[in-house]
Amino acid sequence: MYPINMRLEGQAAVVVGGGSVAYRKIKHLVAEKATVVVVAPRVLPEIEELMASGRVIWQKSTHEEFRWRYGAFRLVFAATDDFAANAEVCRQARAAGALVNSATEPKDCDFFVPAVIRQGELEMTVATGGSSPAFARLVKADMEKRYHPGVGEFLEWLGTARKELLKTVEGTQRRQKLWRQAMKQEIMDLILQGRMEQAKDEVRKEISGAGAESSDSTGGDQGKI
């Protein structure tokens, strides 16, 4: 499988099914600002509540009655509890040019949805190739304990430090080399231990000398990082 992050804002997706599995799919698609067409004769109250977002359209029909239009949908989720129904949805959706995901049969999937850990702008995913979503959730829970919110906060600080580096050090290759040197294992160890200020000091040490040297040669200000 080729891992990608897909921008779904403004894109249309279909979720076939109205139960708890469908609800989880719909909730995440709405969060990513996709337009979601739900195909099911009945849906959970939680799905009906999501319609208030304006991003969920409920087609009160079975999958046999739904009319597929070629190229109309980017992603399709077969999320019923019926193996045969999901297989037929996958066949029809693929013929209509969509990428499909089956909740019941991994071999029918064009893509899998990984478990996601987000801490600020940091995003990590866990995938098992459809072998065991439950195990993916277990690994996710372990990673969430390890990669605490401070990791995301540190990343935000790094973004600011990087902008300062662009101002004080000339040359793309030189900046890249300095940044790679600064991102060493000891920094991650400090972050995971919650010693954020010490981690920042270590990064500053790696790059501030070079920044000062560059500023000296160009007449710019020193000590920005």
What is residue 167's predicted lDDT score, i.e. its pLDDT?
A: 77
Note the pTM of the prediction, 2 decimals: 0.75
Is the predicted pLDDT of residue 9 greater than 70, yes or no? yes
What is residue 31's predicted lDDT score, i.e. its pLDDT?
A: 93
Is the predicted pLDDT of residue 217 greater than 90, yes or no? no
The average confidence (pLDDT) of the chain is: 88
Cα dihedral 172/174/179/184 (nearest 10): 140
- Name the β-bridge partners of 115: 126
Mean pLDDT across 107-126: 90
CA distance 76 to 89: 8
| Secondary structure (DSSP) of 141-181 | HHHHHHS-HHHHHHHHHHHHHHHHHHHHS--HHHHHHHHHH
Each residue's pLDDT tens digit, 62-112 = 999 999 999 999 999 999 999 999 999 999 999 999 999 999 999 999 999
Mean pLDDT across 153-171: 85
What is residue 140's predicted lDDT score, i.e. its pLDDT?
A: 92
Is the predicted pLDDT of residue 32 greater than 60, yes or no? yes
pLDDT > 70 in the chain, percent: 92
